[in-house]
Amino acid sequence: MVKSTGYKKVKAAVFISGTGSNLKSLIKFSKKKNSPISIDLIISNNPKAKGLKLGKVNKIKKKVFNFKNKNKIENQILSVLKHHKIKMICLAGFMKILSRNFIAKFKGKILNIHPSLLPKYKGLNTHQRVLDNNEKYSGCTVHFVNSKLDSGKIILQKKVKISKNETRDSLAKKVIIQEHKLYPKAILKTFNL
């Protein structure tokens, strides 16, 4: 459980690697009165991540880190997070795996969104694997991050039905619409709201 500090919003950082559509929905949510979080920092491993543009538009600080030397970089990230008094991390399309040590420093305070009904289809290329297996349903999951990939405690899931002529792209579109609704709901849930 992430503790709310009463009237003040808990400062959160969002980690991204690409488009940032979940980031966009989280920013929108964070500006609402009933949101227990504010988004104070955007972190990316990819200098070309489209989502970084959202930082400028919304006046949110952004930092890009080159993950070649993961240990060193994670220590740098930890000090940036400390400097900005970040108490919660939302991974939103962040395609790097954080170390056990990093996760331990934010135990129970890191959330991730994954485009499948976990524990099914952990990892990459989710939608294609779902279709290859002729699944009837797919969906998305928000979960706490632990040291095993896509395996932490599930907070919320949303199911979507797979249509007859579903393609990887059509399924991705269907799922991501639900992701944008699910992530804010899951955050509220972690605050018991």
Rule CB under 6 A: say whether 93 interacts with ligand GAR.
Answer: yes
Rule CB under 6 A: say whether 81 interacts with ligand GAR.
Answer: no
- What residue is closest to ligand GAR based on CB? 93
Q: Give catalytic status of residue 127 as yes or no.
A: no
Taking CB under 6 A as the criterion, the residue among 115, 139, 152, 184 binding ligand GAR is 115
| Catalytic residue chosen out of the listed positions 83, 114, 143, 180 | 114
Q: Cβ closer to ligand GAR: 16 or 86?
A: 16
Rule CB under 6 A: say whether 184 interacts with ligand GAR.
Answer: no
Question: In this structure, are strands 61-64 and 88-91 parallel, antiparallel, or unpaired?
Answer: unpaired
Rule CB under 6 A: say whether 55 interacts with ligand GAR.
Answer: no
**How far are the Cα atoms of 10, 46, 115, 160 from residue 52, in angstroms, in the given order?**
21, 9, 21, 29
Considering the complex, what minimum distance in angstroms separates the CB of residue 157 from ligand GAR? 12
Q: In sequence order, what are the beta bridge partners of 88?
A: 12
Helical residues (DSSP H) of the chain, grouped into ranges: 21-30, 53-58, 70-83, 100-105, 126-132, 168-190
Closest CA to 58 of 26, 87, 17: 26
Cβ atoms of residues 4 and 191 within 8 Å: yes
Interacting residue ranges for ligand GAR, rule: CB under 6 A: 16, 18-22, 51, 92-93, 113-115, 176, 179
Catalytic residues: 114
